[in-house]
Amino acid sequence: MALRLVATCALGLEDLLSEELSQLGMEGIEAQRGAVIFRGSWQACWKANWRLRTANRVLVELARFAAPDGDALARGAHQLITQKAHHGIDTGRLFHPSRTFSISATTSQSRITDLRWAALKLKDGIVDGQRERYRQRSSIDRHSPDLSLRLRVHRDEAIITLDTSGEPLDRRGYRVESSSAPVREQLAAACVLASGWDGQGPVVDPMCGSGTLLAEAAWYALGWAPGRLRQAWAFERLPSFDPDAFERLKRGLLPAPGPEVRLFGNDTSSAALRATRRNLAQANLSNRLELGKLDAYEYRPPKTPGLVLINPAYGERLDTTRDQWRRLGDLLKQQYGGWRAVVLAGDEGRGKHIGLKPRLRLPVMNGPLQARILVFDLY
Ligand SMILES: C[S@@+](CC[C@H](N)C(=O)[O-])C[C@H]1O[C@@H](n2cnc3c(N)ncnc32)[C@H](O)[C@@H]1O
């Protein structure tokens, strides 16, 4: 039976993530708020971890049952150990006492509201079940557990999932240095995917900060999996893991729409340029990179059009930012005719002063902040 899998994401990225899953050939794709559900085998789970650019984590569902109160929660947890498999997972075997675990809990619209108490009830049910089945119980390890469990109680229903990623998927492994306000890797990848770029032509970021947008555009164009530099995954510690099958999966080729891609970064800050140089070296992109240290408004892109990505850091005062947006719009019109442009705009309303009509305006959360991905076809 297929596993029930959940890829989590920042709010606003659900459709892009669904599209990624569909391109990976996943089944039963269903977008929810901040997550996309899908079905598949363990191989599908490893593949999702290895290849998804816009997801935060991949979870696998272990159980789902009515939990109006703590006793029901403990009972449901107990059954995880003593009953048969759920959606293709033998949870009794998974919860062998030799494996440590941890629990994080959230609740919404439910009678159970106390998160610590809910996690405690779940733990009690699991260890009681283990004592009954194995005469031993697992240890709790909050820092590096074998099983990292998530309990979500929503409308009095408990959903227990297991994290298969470990470190969140934005930890690509190339960020060795940050500049001010770096964009997260999934959001940078979302900017590239949302643009519908075909991988052709140069990629320019005239305010490149630590270079995240350039790195994500290049890895996409080259068909490099976002997991390629990661050292560890939580799924490697599960009994279902098959290292040889995972190695084979990693050798599979991804579509590479821009094998010749060239990257052009620019920033006025020396610290930002140093960060870009170091991060892109770590990302194996140094030989494709040219850096400039000019005001973005003086910087001249290559003649051949391609993709321009901009994540400006404009201040909070509306009157000054309005002028800055207008200037940015003028810059795009004057210097980037024929290009596809993506602007990651910090806040609602600000981007509208740019004076260009976006083909796409996608509201997203950038950490705790509201943001917009604006896509312009300047041709
Ligand atoms: C929000 S940060 C970009 C972060 C970047 N996307 C990343 O992931 O690291 C904005 C960058 O724009 C640069 N910047 C601001 N105004 C600029 C200008 N007029 N010309 C060039 N760079 C500028 C800042 O130095 C800063 O590094």
pLDDT digits (tens, 9 = 90+) for 351-376: 678 899 999 999 999 888 888 999 99
pLDDT value, residue 82: 87
Residue 348 pLDDT more than 60? no
313 lines ligand 1 (CB under 6 A): yes
The per-residue pLDDT for range 260-275, each reduced to its tens digit, is: 999 999 999 999 999 9
pLDDT above 90 covers what percent of the chain?
A: 87
- Side-chain-side CA neighbours of 4 within 13 Å: the count stands at 13
Query: In angstroms, rounded to a whole number, what is the distance separating the alpha carbons of residues 365 and 371?
Result: 6
Q: Kindly give the residue spans of alpha helices, DSSP state H, lying in the chain.
A: 14-23, 42-51, 70-82, 91-94, 115-134, 185-195, 212-222, 243-251, 270-282, 318-335
Cα 293 to ligand 1 centre (Å): 11
Closest approach atom of ligand 1 to CA 181: 1
Cα 14 to ligand 1 centre (Å): 27
pLDDT value, residue 342: 98
295 lines ligand 1 (CB under 6 A): yes
Residue 254 DSSP label: P
Confidence of residue 285 (pLDDT cuts 50, 70, 90): very high
3 lines ligand 1 (CB under 6 A): no
Number of H helices and E strands in the chain, helices first, is 10, 14
Cα 328 to ligand 1 centre (Å): 13
The per-residue pLDDT for range 163-205, each reduced to its tens digit, is: 999 999 999 999 999 887 889 999 999 999 999 999 999 999 9
R_g of the chain, CA atoms, integer Å: 23
Query: In angstroms, rounded to a whole number, what is the distance separating the alpha carbons of residues 92 and 47?
Result: 25
Cα 313 to ligand 1 centre (Å): 6
Phi then psi dihedrals of residue 39, to 5 deg = -120, 150
All domains of the chain in start order, with CATH: 3-163 (3.30.2130.30), 185-224+261-377 (3.40.50.150)
Residue entry with tokens 């290895």: 50
pLDDT value, residue 321: 75
The conformational region for residue 283 under phi > 0 = left, psi -120 to 50 = alpha, else beta, is: alpha
